[in-house]
Amino acid sequence: MFRFIRRHWLPIVVLLMLTVGWNLTYTPTGSMEPTIQPWRIYRCIRWPFMPEPERGDIVLYRDGWRIYCKRLVGLPGDIVYIHDGIVETPDGVLEGPETQPPGTWNLGDDEIFVLGDNRANSLDSRYAETLPKYHNIIGIVLL
């Protein structure tokens, strides 16, 4: 047994990383273009090994039975404003393409606000009936 582990330690470590802490995944839509191209495979680090998600991170989160890949814009307790095509958060104005529709979102203690980088072609927090939950974040994308 030990001889097998000593001889094959690298594949065993890689297999453990992929099954426990790392994940290879893809985005089937263009909602994150130009940052992530459709059907491109990328790495993400999964809970419990991921650091605390920060504003600007690209996160994977579960909403029902679907998994989405979006940019984290609003953290729990934030107020997010969209007006005149720009996005304002407590940290300032978010860089990126013009964003519609206008609105104000007051996030609860467990809610997050996510946007796709391709804002014209992204089903995200602007159109959701309920906002994704902070505890539903399952990973951070590593580019």
* Residues designated catalytic: 31, 70
The enclosing H or E element of 5 equals helix 2-7
Q: Tokens at residue 28, please?
A: 């089937």
| Separation in Å, CA 123 to CA 17, 35, 52, 106, 129 | 31, 16, 24, 19, 11
Helical (H) or strand (E) element with 52:
none
Cis peptide before 34 (omega within 30 of 0): yes
